[in-house]
Amino acid sequence: MEREGGAVQHLLHHRPGGLTQSGCSWWENTFLLKFFSVFLGIIFFLELTAGVLAFVFKDWIKDQLNFFINNNIRAYRDDIDLQNLIDFTQEYWECCGAFGADDWNLNIYFNCTDGNPSREKCGVPFSCCTKDPAEDVINTQCGYDVRAKADSEQKTYIYVKGCVPQFEKWLQDNLTVVAGIFIGIALLQIFGICLAQNLVSDIEAVRASWVPPSLSARRPPPPHSSKKASAPQPAPPLLKTQVSISMPTPAREEQRRPS
C-alpha cells in the first residue's frame, strides 16, 4: 500500500501529463458509467413493456407462433437450419406440427395429395415419432405413411398434440421458474443501475474536492502550522516627550500692570 501511495503521489506532483490522463480517466469513467446506467434502464423498461404486452396480446403471440411454425414446416427440406430447429422443437415438446400432425400437409413432401410422388407422402418427420427407450438408433423412417392410418392408431406411433398447445402447457407448469428468472434478471439490472449511479456520485465528489498541486503550492500556509509559535514581542516603550512651559518673568508682569 505504501508503494502504491508513493507512486500516486509521484504521478500527481511530478508528472503533469499523468494529471491530464487522470482527469481524462475520471471524465471517461463518469461518462461510461452514466451511459451504462441509462442503457440498463432502457433495457429494463423494454423488458417490462414486453412482459405487459405479452400478457395483454397473448392470443396474437399464439397466432404468430403458429404462423412461424407453419412457415418452417413449408421450408422443412429447403433449409437445414430450419429442419434442425423443427426437429429439436418436436422432440423436446413431444409434439408434431403447430396444432397437430395434419399441419405437415403444408409441406410438398409430406402432404397426402394424390399427385405427390414422394415416398414421405402422408408421413411426418422422425422427430414426431414416439421414442422407444429400448432403441438406441433413431429410425428415420418411423413416420412414413403414418397419417394414412386411423387417428386412434396414430397415437401409437407419433405425437398427436401440436407444439403450440404443448408450449402453453409447459409455460403454465413452469410459470414460477420462468417468473423467478425474469425477476432475478430485473433485480440484477436494478442493482447495476444503482451501483453505477453510486460510483458516479463518488467520482464527482472526489473530483470536486481535488485540487491540482500547482494551485496548492501557491496557497499560503495555514495559520496553525506545525512550526512552534514565536514568543510574543514586548510592546515598544513609550517615548518621553519633554514639554517646556514658559513661565512669565517679573518684568513682563510689571509691563502688563496698568499705570
pLDDT at 73: 94
Torsion of CA 144, 147, 151, 153, to 10 degrees: -20
Question: 158 - beta bridge partners?
Answer: 129
Query: Does residue 19 contact residue 212 with C-beta atoms inside 8 Å?
Result: yes
DSSP collapsed to 3 states, 76-116: CCCCHHHHHHHHHHHHHHCCCCCCCHHHHHHCCCCCCCCCC
Element containing residue 208 per DSSP (H, E): helix 175-209
Burial of 115 per CB tally in 10 Å (0-12, 13-18, 19+): exposed
pTM of the model: 0.58
Question: 129 - beta bridge partners?
Answer: 158
Write out residues in the chain with pLDDT < 70, as ranges: 1-29, 211-259
Q: What is the pLDDT of residues 183-240, one digit of tens each?
A: 999 999 999 999 988 988 888 888 788 766 666 556 666 665 555 555 556 655 555 5
pLDDT at 9: 44
